[in-house]
A and B are shown apart, each in its own frame.
Chain A
Amino acid sequence: MAGAETATYDLGFAKWVAGNISGADKLSMCMQCGMCSGSCPIGTQMDHGPRKLIMMIRAGMRDAVLSANTLWNCTQCYNCTVRCPRGIPVTEILQGLATVAVAEGHAGGEPTARFSEAFWWSLAKFGRTDERLVTSRFYFSAGLAEGVRKSRENLAIALRMIKARRMHLGAPHKIKRRKNLQAILAKAREIEARGAGEGD
Chain B
Amino acid sequence: MAAQGARSETILVVGGGIAGITTAVEAAEAGAEVVLVERGPSLGGRVAQLSRYFPKLCHPTCGLEINYQRIRGNRRLRVITMATVAAVTGDRGAYTARIETRPRHVTARCTGCGDCARASQTRVPNPYNYDLDTVPAAHLAHPMAYPMRYVIADSVIGTPEADRIEAACRYGAVDLGEEPGAFDMVVGAVVWATGWRPYDAAKLQPYGYERHANVITNVEMERLAATTGPTLGQILRPSDAKPAKRVAMIQCAGSRDHNHLPYCSRICCLASLKHAAYLREAYADAEVDIYYIDIRAHDKLESFHARIKADPRVRFIKSKPASISENEAGDPVLHGEDTLTRDLYETAYDMVVLAIGMAPTAGDAMPEAALETDEYGFIVAAETLGGGMFSAGVAAGPLDVSLSVQSATAAALKAIQAVRGG
Residues of A participating in the B interface, judged by any CB pair closer than 8 Å: 31-35, 37-39, 43-44, 48-49, 51-52, 82-83, 85-87
Contact = CB atoms under 8 A, between A and B. Distances in A.
A44 B343 CA distance: 9
Contacts of A49: 337, 342, 344
Nearest to A39: B322
14 contacts: A33-B319, A34-B336, A34-B337, A37-B336, A37-B342, A38-B320, A38-B337, A39-B322, A39-B323, A49-B342, A49-B344, A82-B259, A85-B258, A85-B259
Contacts of A38: 319-323, 335-337, 344
B339 interface: yes
A60 B395 CA distance: 44
A87 B260 CA distance: 11
A86 B259 CA distance: 8
B257 interface: yes
A43 B322 CA distance: 12
B257 A51 contact: no
A188 B323 CA distance: 41
Contact of B337 (A37, A82, A83): A37
Nearest to B205: A83
A37 B342 CA distance: 9
Contacts of A82: 259
B100 interface: no
Chain B facing A: main interface SS: loop
Contacts of B321: 38
Interface residues of B, number: 22
A39 B258 contact: no
B256 interface: yes
Given A38-B320, A39-B323, A48-B342, 16 more contacts: A31-B293, A34-B318, A34-B320, A34-B336, A35-B322, A37-B322, A37-B336, A37-B337, A38-B322, A38-B335, A38-B337, A43-B337, A49-B342, A51-B339, A83-B206, A85-B256
The winner among A32, A38, A39 for most chain B CB atoms within 10 A is A38
A51 B322 CA distance: 13
Contact of B322 (A44, A48, A83, A87): A83
Contacts of B336: 34-35, 37-38
Contacts of A85: 252, 256-260, 320
Given A38-B335, A51-B337, A43 B344 contact: yes
Contact of B344 (A31, A35, A37): A37
A135 B199 CA distance: 51
Interface in B366-420: none
User: 9 closest Cβ contacts across the A-B interface?
Assistant: A38-B322, A38-B336, A85-B257, A33-B320, A37-B337, A34-B337, A39-B322, A34-B339, A38-B337
A48 B342 CA distance: 9
Contacts of B338: 34
Interface string B240-267: 0000000000001000111110000000
Contacts of A43: 337, 344
Contacts of B337: 34, 37-38, 43, 49, 51
B320 A35 contact: yes
